Amino acid sequence: MNLSHPWSKATPLFDDERLVSCAGLIPVMALAEQTGLAELITDRVQIASTRVASAGVNPAGKLTSIIAGMAASADSIDDLQVIRSGGMKRLFDQVYAPATLGQFLREFTHGHTSQLASVARAHLVNLVERTGLLAGIESQAYLDIDSLLRPVYGHAKQGASFGHTKISGKQVLRKGLSPLATTISTRQSAPVVAGIRLRGGKAGSGKRAASMVADAVKTARAAGAGGPILVRGDSAYGTSPVVAACLKAKVQFSLVLAKNPAVVRAIGAIPEDAWRPVTYPGAVVDPDTGELISDAEVAETTFTAFASTEHPVSARLVVRRVRDRAKLEELFPVWRHHPFFTNSTEPTVAADLTHRRHAVIETVFADLIDGPLAHMPSGRFAANSAWALCAMITHNLLRAADSLDPNRPAPSRGVTLRRQIVHVPARLARPQRRPVLHLPAHWPWADRWLAIWNGVFGHAHGPPATA
């Protein structure tokens, strides 16, 4: 590819008030309006300003501005300026400046973040009702829980502390903040975020997990999960409080148990002829070695967990064992065992395959890290908590918009949706006082863009023009 003109003699001017850099925000934010996002915020988020008298005014307009900026790839408060460029003010009302939005976020307290969390959960339910966001939720739903550590730097971040994280398969200490998240998925649909809660960096992975599971189950039920719900998690969540929360909510669980003498004895008592081979559809990462494996053996036994507590629980202990490839010359095979505790009714091999799909939550984390959670933008803990909840709403909103395209081959990552759908340049015109968006000719994803547009607005007024 070569330059077509001697551009060194050209004069670039940023002076066009009718050019729009993110025309895809129109159907995305229209979908937010149709699902009552602003009304939910107005009803549930009440901020009485303590620092600046006007900072807490109009939370609906300010939070939707933040969400629109996140949908347009903003990962810091300054990046929210993107929604004020060119002709964006002609497309949207109440477009606030980044300084105003940052001042607004700093007014948040723990109580305000709880209010916003209830908005995020209710809005997810509305999105499911409006779109095909969680197809098949009425027959089977999967609820996954996990945490991550987002690194921060400097001394100005409230709540930041050193916590354990895994980098390249090795445990390291890193200073940061630790969001705990739950997701809901089905056999036909990609996961959406059911809840997210920011914690200090040194918080244990399972801290406050039981209440998160309870809230996520309520959200799934409200979204139409009339059938079984399976809660999946790693060893940080294979605890008595989390299992008790699952039993109280009358849902199934599939949780990894940390190895202790009782678990080791139960594994050793499994007869050799009980092991069954299992082949994974794709290679998976061994958590001990970091190597890819494609086959293993599974067996199960009945096990009573938490026997020393007041509430012991008896269920199935399903064990996956993998041959230790570092010791192939031994006299007897050496196996590494990975147990999980479940009350599901699936056969042993199917239960193992279902449990392994817990890794789907990592795709959500990848989306959030490659988007709004690339940074924790504020020095105040509650402001960062509100930022994380806005990231949740944005993720679910983009997923819902993507689901409006009936011909999409597979759900797309957030960065793909932003590049193909949101970041579409357009020129705004008003012939005969009717707004028309002139979009680029030969846009590779024009059909997909128009499918989402028609899914939001219908075909009554026709599509925007391409030029």
| C-alpha 294: how far from chain center | 27
**What distance in Å separates the CA atoms of residue 438 and residue 427, rounded to the nearest whole number?**
5
Q: Alpha-carbon distance 434 to 436, whole Å?
A: 6
Asked if residue 116 belongs to a domain, the reply is: no
Q: Is residue 462 part of a domain?
A: no
What separation in angstroms does the CA of 252 have from each of 156, 288, 342, 351, 428? 42, 27, 7, 12, 52
Question: Do 316 and 358 share a domain, yes or no?
Answer: yes
Domain-terminating residue out of 350, 369, 388: 369
**Residue 278 contacts residue 320 (beta carbons within 8 Å):** yes
Mean pLDDT by 10 residues, the chain (467 residues): 79 85 94 96 88 85 96 94 88 90 94 96 96 93 95 86 76 88 95 95 89 97 95 94 96 94 93 86 64 76 92 94 67 80 94 92 94 92 96 97 88 91 91 87 93 84 53
Single residue among 369, 403, 435 that ends a domain in this structure: 369
User: 144 and 230 share a domain?
Assistant: yes
Number of structural domains (the chain) is 2
Per the structure, the complete domain to which residue 89 belongs is given by: 14-111+380-457
Q: How far apart are CA 267 and CA 247, in angstroms?
A: 24
Looking at the fold, whether 61 and 206 belong to one and the same domain comes out as: no
Angle at which helices 59-71 and 98-105 cross, to 10°: 120
Residues β-bridged to residue 428: 437
DSSP strand pairing (292-305 vs 150-151): unpaired
Which spans in 195-320 are helix H? 209-222, 240-248, 261-268
- Model pLDDT, residue 294: 59
Q: Are residues 81 and 223 in the same domain?
A: no
Domain membership of residue 440 (yes or no) is yes
| CATH number of residue 195's parent domain | 3.90.350.10
Give CA–CA dist 68/58, Å, rounded: 16
- Residues 353, 215, single domain; the answer is yes
Same domain? 155 vs 286:
yes
State residue 203's pLDDT score. Answer: 87
CA dihedral 162, 168, 170, 175 (to 10 degrees): 0
- Residue 286: the pLDDT is 65
d(CA 406, CA 68): 24
Output the CA torsion sign for 180, 116, 88, 401: positive
Same domain membership, residue 221 and residue 266: yes
By the 8 A CB rule, do 357 and 401 touch? no
With respect to residue 8, please indicate whether it lies within any of the assigned structural domains. Answer: no
Residue 461: CB atoms within 10 A of its CB come to 9
Q: What does pTM read for this prediction?
A: 0.92
> In this structure, are 202 and 327 located in the same domain?
yes
Residues 294 and 347 in one domain: yes
Amino acid at 77: I
pLDDT in tens, 440-456: 999 999 999 999 999 99
Listing DSSP states for 349-407 in one string gives HHHHHHHHGGGGHHHHHHHHHTTGGG----SSHHHHHHHHHHHHHHHHHHHHHHHT-TT
pLDDT at 318: 95
Asked if 351 and 396 sit in the same domain, the reply is: no
The candidate with the shortest Cα–Cα distance to 362, out of 144, 174, 163, is: 144
Query: What's the pLDDT at 283?
Result: 62
- Among the three residues 369, 391, 421, which one is the final residue of a domain in this structure? 369
The answer as to whether 4 is a domain residue is: no
Same domain, 31 and 138: no
The answer as to whether 137 is a domain residue is: yes
* 346 and 325, same domain (yes or no): yes
Is 107 part of any domain? yes
236 lies in some domain: yes
Q: What's the CA angle centered on 427, arms 424 and 430, to 5 degrees?
A: 135
Q: What pLDDT, on the 0 to 100 scale, is given for residue 253?
A: 97
Q: Quick one: pLDDT at residue 412?
A: 86
Q: What is the mean pLDDT of the chain?
A: 89
Give residue 417's pLDDT. 93
